[in-house]
Amino acid sequence: MNAQPVQQIPGVYHRKIGDIVVTAISDGYLDSTLEVMRNVDLDRARQILNDAFRPARRTSVNTFVIHSKGRTAIVDTGSGNYMQPSAGLVQQNLAGAGIDPKSIDTVLLTHMHPDHSAGLTDMTSGKLLFPNAELVMHQNELPHWFDDGAMAKANERDKKLFFQAGREQVEPYKKQTRLFKQGEVFPGVTAVPSHGHTPGHTAYLIASGDDQLMIWGDTVHVPEVQTAYPEAGMAFDTDLAAAAASRKRMFDRVSADGVLIAGMHLHFPAFARLARRGDAYALYPEQWIHNIDAVPPVK
């Protein structure tokens, strides 16, 4: 008799963008409350989640490996061992995908929050988890998170998880760090600065042939609520108003152009399209593609 399954298969999903292959790697999920949301009625937010059969705020955490022109990059690194035990699965799922972290030559950070950069090193040993990778991020990120004055204004939790954790994670990569302002940052990948959530928060547009994918980072944290109310933000937005403005610009861009999107906090495997619906928007997850060469046509 076959044994009853006790766990899921690795959180891995491949998607072709022209000649580039993007592999979604799940880091797991983080559970929290809606109390951290801002600029939205919380009772209405709870109703939206209930109507979507999601009675709690469970946030997916995703990273994306980019295979382009014989090179390999990863966009964000997950939570490492800084966050909840339900996250921190990037290394495990990279192994499930057959990807050796030593083969990754570039780490592209969307920003330095712990669920994005805390998988750079092992906090218990200081070991680099991507030892051969160049660390690449927007030029605004390091000055903010290494600013002692900004750190002094933060509460104790933010000091530990945002400032101290970020410093611990990126410092070992100091000699192999490259900062950018804009432009192409990896073959086929262009930085799209989308500041506000953090001072250097950046999306990445992947383009090959006629295909495009916008990895929009933390444009949303609670997809069902923030697509319905684009002005809704999070307590941990560095600049709440700027984050909302960037979100609305991104929503307008990808919906008007019909661009395929992927996000760090969209439900895994996190590939979707966004459509405008009056003053709000609707997310439509892409159908599962069994053969990565059989990309569904979009009119």
Over residues 198-207, the pLDDT tens digits come to: 999 999 999 9
Amino acid 298: pLDDT: 65
Measure CA 60 to chain center.
Answer: 9
Query: Does some domain include residue 7?
Result: no
Query: Does some domain include residue 126?
Result: yes
- pLDDT higher than threshold 80 for residue 295: no
Amino acid 82: pLDDT: 87
- pLDDT higher than threshold 80 for residue 150: yes
Mean pLDDT of the chain: 95
What is the arithmetic mean of pLDDT over 118-133?
93
Looking at the 3D structure of the chain, how many domains does it have?
A: 1
Q: Are 296 and 260 in contact (CB under 8 A)?
A: no
What is the arithmetic mean of pLDDT over 25-49?
96
Amino acid 211: pLDDT: 96
- pLDDT higher than threshold 70 for residue 23: yes
Strand-by-strand arrangement of the 271-277 sheet: 183-186, 189-193, 202-208, 211-215, 260-262, 271-277, 280-285
- pLDDT higher than threshold 90 for residue 8: no
Amino acid 7: pLDDT: 86
Amino acid 106: pLDDT: 98
When pLDDT is cut at 50, 70 and 90, the band that residue 42 belongs to is very high
What is the arithmetic mean of pLDDT over 232-242?
97
Nearest to 185 by CA among 124, 105, 242: 105
Measure CA 36 to chain center.
Answer: 18
- pLDDT higher than threshold 70 for residue 299: no
Query: Does some domain include residue 291?
Result: no
- pLDDT higher than threshold 70 for residue 297: no
Least confident window among 119-133, 184-198, 249-263: 119-133
Six-digit token string for 8: 């899921």
Query: Does some domain include residue 224?
Result: yes
- Per the structure, the complete domain to which residue 59 belongs is given by 12-285
Q: Are 77 and 65 in contact (CB under 8 A)?
A: no
What is the arithmetic mean of pLDDT over 73-96?
94
- pLDDT higher than threshold 70 for residue 234: yes
CATH code, 263: 3.60.15.10
Query: Does some domain include residue 296?
Result: no
Nearest to 39 by CA among 235, 233, 197, 225: 233
What is the arithmetic mean of pLDDT over 123-143?
95
Query: Does some domain include residue 96?
Result: yes
Amino acid 48: pLDDT: 97
Query: Does some domain include residue 4?
Result: no
Query: Does some domain include residue 154?
Result: yes
What is the arithmetic mean of pLDDT over 117-128?
92
